[in-house]
C-alpha cells in the first residue's frame, strides 16, 4: 500500500501560518518521529480517514476516550438528541446529576464528584483541594508522569531530594514549583526518604496507577501500598490520576485492580477524564465527602467552570458508561488487546528484535527493549531510531500508532479480529526491515 501525503503537507503548511507548529497539542506535530502529521477528515469504528481519503486503523482513539470506537450509533443518537435540546445553559441539569451518580456507583472510593471540562482542569483542582484540606503546600509527583499542564506539575526531576525539581516549561516561575517534589516512579526507598524528611509538610502525592506518558509502566503493588501507608501515616492525601486508566483498564478503573491485591485500598481523591466524556470535553475529580465538602460553594476552596457539566458532554458520557457497563465488556477488550500485543511480540521475536509488551483492558504499550521498564530513565533507553522506523513503516501500511515512543496505545471495542490480523501482518513485514 503506497500512501501520499501531498494534501496533508499542504494543510500543515497552511496550519503553521495560523497555529503554533500547525497543531493545537504538541504530540500531534510528529516532532518525535519526523514526517507529516495526518489531518483527519472523518472517523468511524476502528478507522479514520485523512485529508487524502486514506484509511488508517486507529490505535490512539483520540488518546483514550473512544473506547467504543468512533461514531457508535447509540452514542451518536444520544448526542443528537441532546444537541436538539440546547448546547449549554450555565445552570444545573438532571443529566449532570445522573452522570455523577453513575460515576459514584462504579467508584466506591468517591462519595462526591465535581465535573469539569479537561483532565488538566481536574488535576489542577484536585491539587488545590488537597492543599486546602490539609493546610500544607508541598506536593509529590513522579518523574515521567503527566497530570496536565498546570504550572505546579510541569516539573522535571532534580538530581536527588536535596535538589528540587525545576520547571520543564518556559513561563513557569521557580517560585511556583518550589513546593513540587519529583521522585522516581516505583522507587520505594526514595519515597520513604522524602516522607522521613518532609512528611509533615506534604499535602499530597499524585500518581498514575499506570503511567501512560511513559508509554505503559505499571506502578508496582509494593510502591502503591507504600504510598497509601505513608500518606495515611503523615496526614497527606493520595491522589489517583485515572484520566487515562479510568473505565478503560477495568469497569472499576485501575484502583479496583489494585484493591484486589491491597486489602482496603482506596485513594483519597481520584482524577478522571477521557472515557467519562466518550470523546466530548469532560473530566471530573472526586473523593471522600469530608474532602469534597471543602469545595465552594460549601467550603473555602474555590473552583468553577462555565462549561462544567455541559449537557451534550454529559449525554455522551452517560451513554458511553452505560454501554461499557455491559457484562464481560472489559474482559473481552482485555483479551483483544492481548492478542495484538502478544502478536507483535511474536513477530518481533521472530525477527530478532528486542521487544517487550504490556496491556490492561483497552490500554497497551510496547518498547524496543528486552524487558519492560519500571521508571522513566529506563523508558528513555528505548531505541528511538528503531521505534521511528517502525512507526513510519506501520503508517505506510495504514496502521496508526502513537507518534512518540513514550505514549501508550488504545484498543476499542470496534477493532475486529480482521483488524488485528491485518496489523500483525503489516508488523511482520516492517520488523524484517528494522
Q: What was the pLDDT predicted at 170?
A: 83
Q: What was the pLDDT predicted at 157?
A: 55
User: Nearest-CA neighbor of 69 among 42, 41, 40, 46?
Assistant: 46
CA atoms of 377 and 388, how far apart (whole Å): 19
User: Nearest-CA neighbor of 122 among 257, 290, 259, 292?
Assistant: 292
Q: Just list the catalytic residues.
A: 146, 241, 274
Q: Cell 507548529: give the residue.
A: 21
* Start-end of CATH 3.90.1150.10 domains in the chain: 6-71+327-431
Give the number of other Cβ atoms within 10 Å of residue 104's Cβ: 15
Q: What was the pLDDT predicted at 27?
A: 87
CATH topology of domain 73-324: 3.40.640
Q: What was the pLDDT predicted at 424?
A: 98
Half-sphere exposure of 375 (CA within 13 A, CB side): 14
- Taking 70 as the pLDDT cut, the residues of the chain under it are 1-5, 156-166
User: Nearest-CA neighbor of 276 among 130, 92, 27, 68?
Assistant: 68
CA atoms of 67 and 323, how far apart (whole Å): 10
As given in the structure block, the three cell numbers for residue 187 are: 522507587
Q: What was the pLDDT predicted at 154?
A: 82
As given in the structure block, the three cell numbers for residue 397 are: 501500511
Instruction: Name the burial class of residue 127, with classes exposed (0-12), middle (13-18) and buried (19+) by CB atoms within 10 angstroms of its CB.
Output: buried
CA atoms of 227 and 205, how far apart (whole Å): 8
Q: What share of the chain has pLDDT > 70, as a percent?
A: 96
Q: What was the pLDDT predicted at 74?
A: 98
Sequence-distant (≥ 6) Cβ neighbours of residue 360 within 8 angstroms = 210, 218, 245, 249, 250, 254, 257, 334, 337
CATH topology of domain 6-71+327-431: 3.90.1150
CA atoms of 427 and 165, how far apart (whole Å): 39
Q: What was the pLDDT predicted at 169?
A: 78
* Start-end of CATH 3.40.640.10 domains in the chain: 73-324
CA-CA-CA-CA dihedral for 185, 190, 192, 197, to nearest 10: -130
User: Nearest-CA neighbor of 390 among 328, 344, 433?
Assistant: 433
Give the number of other Cβ atoms within 10 Å of residue 205's Cβ: 27
Sequence-distant (≥ 6) Cβ neighbours of residue 53 within 8 angstroms = 41
Amino acid at each position: 500500500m503506497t500512501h501520499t501525503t501531498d494534501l496533508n503537507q499542504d494543510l500543515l503548511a497552511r496550519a503553521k501560518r495560523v497555529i503554533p507548529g500547525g497543531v493545537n497539542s504538541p504530540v500531534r506535530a510528529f516532532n518525535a518521529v519526523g514526517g507529516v502529521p495526518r489531518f483527519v477528515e472523518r472517523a468511524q469504528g476502528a478507522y479514520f480517514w485523512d485529508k487524502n481519503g486514506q484509511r488508517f486503523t486507529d490505535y490512539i482513539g483520540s488518546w483514550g476516550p473512544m473506547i467504543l470506537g468512533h461514531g457508535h450509533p447509540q452514542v451518536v443518537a444520544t448526542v443528537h438528541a441532546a444537541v436538539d435540546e440546547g448546547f449549554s445553559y450555565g445552570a444545573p441539569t438532571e443529566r449532570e446529576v445522573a452522570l455523577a451518580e453513575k460515576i459514584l456507583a462504579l467508584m466506591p472510593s468517591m462519595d462526591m464528584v465535581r465535573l469539569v471540562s479537561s483532565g488538566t482542569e481536574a488535576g489542577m483542582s484536585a491539587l488545590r483541594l488537597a492543599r486546602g484540606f490539609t493546610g500544607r503546600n508541598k506536593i509529590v509527583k513522579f518523574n515521567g508522569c503527566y497530570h496536565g499542564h498546570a504550572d505546579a506539575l510541569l516539573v522535571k526531576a532534580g538530581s536527588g531530594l536535596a535538589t528540587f525539581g525545576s520547571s520543564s516549561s518556559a513561563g513557569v516561575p521557580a517560585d511556583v514549583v518550589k513546593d513540587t517534589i519529583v521522585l522516581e516512579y516505583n522507587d520505594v526507598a526514595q519515597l520513604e526518604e522524602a516522607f522521613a524528611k518532609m512528611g509533615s509538610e506534604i499535602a499530597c502525592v499524585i500518581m498514575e496507577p499506570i503511567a501512560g506518558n511513559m508509554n505503559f509502566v505499571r506502578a508496582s503493588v509494593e510502591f502503591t501500598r507504600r504510598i497509601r501507608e505513608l500518606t495515611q501515616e503523615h496526614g497527606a492525601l493520595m491522589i489517583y490520576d485515572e484520566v487515562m486508566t479510568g473505565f478503560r483498564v477495568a469497569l472499576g478503573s485501575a484502583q479496583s485492580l489494585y484493591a484486589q491485591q491491597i486489602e482496603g485500598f482506596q485513594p483519597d481523591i481520584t482524577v478522571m477524564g477521557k472515557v467519562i466524556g466518550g470523546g466530548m470535553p469532560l473530566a471530573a475529580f472526586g473523593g471522600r465527602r469530608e474532602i469534597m465538602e471543602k469545595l465552594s460553594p460549601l467550603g473555602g476552596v474555590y473552583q468553577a467552570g462555565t462549561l462544567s457539566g455541559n449537557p451534550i458532554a454529559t449525554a455522551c458520557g452517560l451513554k458511553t458508561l452505560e454501554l461499557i457497563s455491559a457484562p464481560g465488556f472489559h474482559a473481552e477488550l482485555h483479551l483483544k488487546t492481548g492478542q495484538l500485543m502478544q502478536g507483535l511480540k511474536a513477530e518481533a521475536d521472530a525477527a530478532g528484535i528486542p521487544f517487550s509488551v504490556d496491556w490492561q483492558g483497552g490500554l497497551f504499550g510496547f518498547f524496543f527493549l528486552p524487558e519492560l521498564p519500571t521508571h522513566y530513565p529506563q523508558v528513555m533507553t528505548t531505541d528511538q531510531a528503531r521505534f521511528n522506523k517502525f512507526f513510519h513503516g506501520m503508517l505506510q501500511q495504514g496502521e496508526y500508532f502513537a507518534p512518540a515512543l513514550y505514549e501508550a496505545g488504545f484498543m476499542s471495542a470496534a477493532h475486529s479480529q480482521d483488524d488485528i490480523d491485518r496489523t500483525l501482518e503489516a508488523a511482520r513485514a516492517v520488523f524484517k526491515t528494522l
